[in-house]
Structure 1
Amino acid sequence: MWWLDIVVKLGVLGTKVAALWSKKAKLWIDGRNGLLDKMAAVIRPEDHVVWFHAASLGEFEEGRPVIEKIRAQYPHYKILVTFFSPSGYEIRKNYSHADWVFYLPADTSANMKRFLDIVHPEIAVFIKYEFWLNMLLEIKKRSIRTFVISARFIPNSRFFSWYGGIFRNSLKAFETIFVQDKRSVELLESIGFVNAVLAGDPRFDRVDDIAQTDWKNEIVERFKNGQKVFIGGSTCGAADEDLLQVLINNHPNTKFLIVPHEMDVEPMEKIEMNTKGGAIRYSKCTAETDFANFQVLIVDTIGMLALLYRYGNWAFIGGGFIAGIHSVIEATIYGMPAVFGPNYQKNRPGIDMIELGACKSIQNAEELDAWFTPLENDDEALTNVSNIAFQYCQQNKGASNIILKKIFE
């Protein structure tokens, strides 16, 4: 579509300007320099390709269980993963379960034609909500088997608006639309799409795989020392930090494991300075560290949180006072209650577990303390809510198998 090509090219031009001062924009531009030539150099015409596309890291993690099951069960396929955003590509560019990881070319007609000529996918899988119009139009022309997984649709999205005809038409490229909830099925049926399958969320399969991993951390185990631990996971922003600091000092007999979302030194130093029971950073610990005088361990290392939750009994999920909470089920898969700030409306598991009583949304330090205090010393109450959290996660497993069975039936 010529007009869409103009829009996309203007967007690329704007990103090039932003790249003069934005590191993320520069990565976006640099990552696409010579991109199609790089793909052509490694993808062979005889390769049988399954192509997965994700906007960013979060979406990739939702589709990851499906990718890894295809790798294990259908090893004759080559797997290509593409990202739109640097935050996904830069972290997963060496992902071992894919044969190739690249950025997605800008969505112009010419780019998409050459891209599909090079990649020639037998199966294309889009994770959650990356609907590029030129790309889907070209896919439809070529009759490539195409799916979207882990999708959620809401009534006020563009697909259901008066101006949404072109977006509704793009959905015709998909053989099957795998959705997370019944409401999405109903919404799609209301606009004439009867190819939606209620599969659920593959992230439950992913977090269960992590929970089953045989993994130990000697430093954390010595810090825990057989005691219960409150974990602050993906904490970010002053509100998260201030709330937890009050809770820490109000409950000196409980140990706290704080895992920030960003590795900024200043908030960590603030916790070390303000914690009456003593706080130490993980990077400063050795096999000889005596934790007797430390109530708080701050994990200043990325990539460990989903594994560290196994050491917890209660969890605070960060992000609820800014853009939105991070993964709840990374914690609750281990059978523990969780609490978070008010911005959780886009997190389906968070919504569900509030209704079930396994999670709680709070507005301030007083509400956080009121939630935690009854669970701190009442083992029966803690066990009850922990079981609710665990059972919810167990009952929602299996999306990956539903998706694979449908694709390869």
Structure 2
Amino acid sequence: MQLAEVVLNGGALVNDKLKKGVEGRKNTFNLLNKGIKPSDKTLWFHCASLGEYEQGLPVFKALRDHFKNHKIILSFFSPSGYEIRKNSPIADVVIYLPLDTKNNAKRFLDIVNPELTIFVKYDIWPVFLIELKKRQGRAILISAAFRENQSFFKWYGKPLREALFAFEHIFTQNEESKNLLKSINYNHVTVAGDTRYDRVTNQLDIDNTLDFIENFKDDKLCVVAGSTWPEGESLLINFINEQANKDLKFIIAPHQIKQEKVKQLQSQLQVPSVLFSKKEKYDLSEAKVFIIDTIGILTKIYNYADIAYVGGALGQTGLHNTLEPAVFGVPIIIGKHYNKFPEAKALINNGGMFSISSQNEFNSVLLSMIKNKDLRLQTGHKNEAFIKKNKGAVVQILNYLRIL
């Protein structure tokens, strides 16, 4: 941890994201002291980043509604979670979790003293969790997904294994994770599935209308490319410039929305395009490409997709959320690096998603979906049905906590 602190502080000098995390952690205990009194009853939710927050949100909301008189502390490790959700309505105090040292763990738990702690997926902090167990604090891990090559299951992984035993119960996404836990004699396990299926299903219960997207789409076939990175954008731009017919529309939502990055993306297009930030100045129906240089609306935009491309898996940045388009019954294209994402494997095996690794493969899959309406609808329906089949993790977790 001392070495990690040196590395983070050094990295913060040249990296804005690391700088936000380092500066944010300096303010953690001030926020806790201001937001919590010794007499307060509390719950503590921890997420590595934004994806885990979205994953845990259905459970967080249910606990927020049930424990109306409790203070809720929401902690993040990554700035990409904290900066976007620091004003989350499900929490009373939102913080960066301090580095995993004994002094930080004791100081944190002295202030927070949670009645219940929930960690999401995989972000395990051994010192905090072992200290919590010493104090007989309740903790559960939800939507856990383990792999055989992780340190928990190696001969040198004893400290991390101890942290797992600090959880009174672990809810896994799959049988493989349950069996790995059993291999280290951890047996308080339920295969509940992934809470993200519940999260995205809830999206269907809200109004997903976006008038400006309707104006842009203009009843034409629309490809939505979500959370894109340069390697995927290159494939899209080449296809748009060389292959796309006049009745096809594209919406691109880059993961990085810094002005210079967006301008560079737009400059490579040889067809009419418009930015979200400039949409009031243009007739959107006249544009062929709509670039979304803002955050927070991609999930609703997928409602207008006929075909979706989800970024991250062509490079090494990690696949972004494929369940968000799947719930709307949309066929999906992703890159080749998806082995660490169980939901992607499942959607591919179910026939609703396609993995590509080259421009030719991308063009071939996309053109087949564009030209064959029946194939497009059948493929999308497989995704929709798969989401419905796999929801229900939240109910199992809440039943265990006896709040249903």
Instruction: Give the TM-score, by structure 1 length.
Output: 0.92
The equivalent of 1:384 in structure 2 is 378
Mapping for residues 6-405 of structure 1, pairs under 5 Å: 8-33=1-26, 35-237=28-230, 239-249=231-241, 250-252=243-245, 253-266=247-260, 268-269=262-263, 272-286=266-280, 289-323=282-316, 324-405=318-399
Q: Is the 8 A contact 1:211 1:310 kept in 2?
A: no
Instruction: Tell me the C-alpha RMSD between the 2 structures.
Output: 1.9
The worse-fitting range, judged by mean Cα deviation, of 116-125 and 219-228 is 219-228
Q: Please give the secondary structure, in 2, of the residue aligned with 1:15.
A: helix
For residues 43-69 of structure 1, the C-alpha deviation after alignment (integer angstroms, 9 at most, x for no partner) is 122222110011222222211111111
| 1:34 Cα offset (Å) | 5.0
Task: Check 1:22–1:294 CA distance in 2 against 1; reply closer, same or farther (3 A cut).
Answer: closer
Matching residue's letter, 2:371: N
Q: Distance in 2 between matches of 1:266 and 1:93?
A: 26
Shift of 1:75: 1.9
The number of aligned residues is 400
SS in 2 for 1:169: helix
Alpha carbons of 1:94 and 1:189: their partners in 2 closer, same or farther (altered >3 Å)?
same
**Partner Cα separation in structure 1 for residue 341 and residue 113 of structure 2:** 35
Contact 2:74 2:91 in 1 (8 A): yes
Matches of 2:86 and 2:5 in 1, distance apart? Answer: 22
For residues 158 and 302 of structure 2, what CA distance do their matches in structure 1 show?
A: 45
Distance, in Å, in 2 between the alignment partners of 1:270 and 1:10 is 37
| Structure 1 residue 228 displacement after superposition | 2.0
> Take 2:64 and 2:4, find their aligned partners in 1: how far apart are those partners?
35
Answer whether contact 1:133 1:170 (CA < 8 A) is retained.
yes
Q: 1:124 to 1:226 in 2, by over 3 A?
A: same
Report the CA distance between 1:370 and its aligned residue: 1.4
Q: Residue type of the partner of 1:244?
A: L
Deviation string, structure 1 residues 156-206 (Cα, Å, up to 9, x no partner): 111111111222222111110111111101111121111111111111122
Deviation of residue 37 (structure 1)? 4.1
Q: Take 2:322 and 2:83, find their aligned partners in 1: how far apart are those partners?
A: 24
**Residue 268 of structure 1: CA displacement?**
4.1
Out of 299-308 and 36-45, give the one that drifted further: 36-45
CA distance in 2 between partners of 1:234 and 1:382 (Å) = 22
Does the residue aligned with 1:121 lie in a helix, a strand or coil? coil
Residue 274 of structure 1 and its aligned partner are, at CA, apart by 4.6
Amino acid at match of 1:46: S
Are 2:75 and 2:97, in contact at CA under 8 Å, matched by a contact in 1?
Answer: yes
| Amino acid across the alignment from 1:335 | G
CA distance in 2, matches of 1:19, 1:294: 40
State whether residues 228 and 252 of structure 2, in contact with CA within 8 Å, keep that contact through their aligned partners in structure 1: yes
Distance (whole Å) between structure 2 residues aligned to residue 290 and residue 32 of structure 1: 45
2: CA distance, partners of 1:212 / 1:347: 26
Give the 3-state SS of the residue equivalent to 1:173 in structure 2: coil
Structure 2: which amino acid aligns with 1:313? D
The alpha-carbon deviation at position 73 of structure 1 amounts to 3.1
- Say whether the 8 Å CA contact 1:51–1:125 is kept in structure 2: yes
Residue-by-residue CA offset, 1:68-117 (whole Å, 9 max, x unaligned): 11112332332110112222212211111111111212222122112111
Letter in 2 for 1:96: P
Deviates more, 1:289-298 or 1:331-340: 289-298
Letter in 2 for 1:20: L
Q: 2: CA distance between counterparts of 1:38 and 1:92?
A: 15
Paired with 1:247 and 1:372, the residues of 2 have a C-alpha distance of: 9
User: Structure 1 residues 290-299 or 99-108, which shifts more?
Assistant: 290-299
Distance in 2 between the 1:256 and 1:27 partners? 33
Q: What is the match of residue 3 of structure 1?
A: none
Gaps of 5+ in 1: 1-7
Other structure's SS at 2:84 match = helix
Q: Distance in 2 between matches of 1:221 and 1:145?
A: 48
SS of corresponding position for 2:26: coil
The question of whether the paired residues in 2 share the 8 Å contact of 1:211 and 1:307 is answered with no
Alpha-carbon distance, 1:247 to partner: 2.2
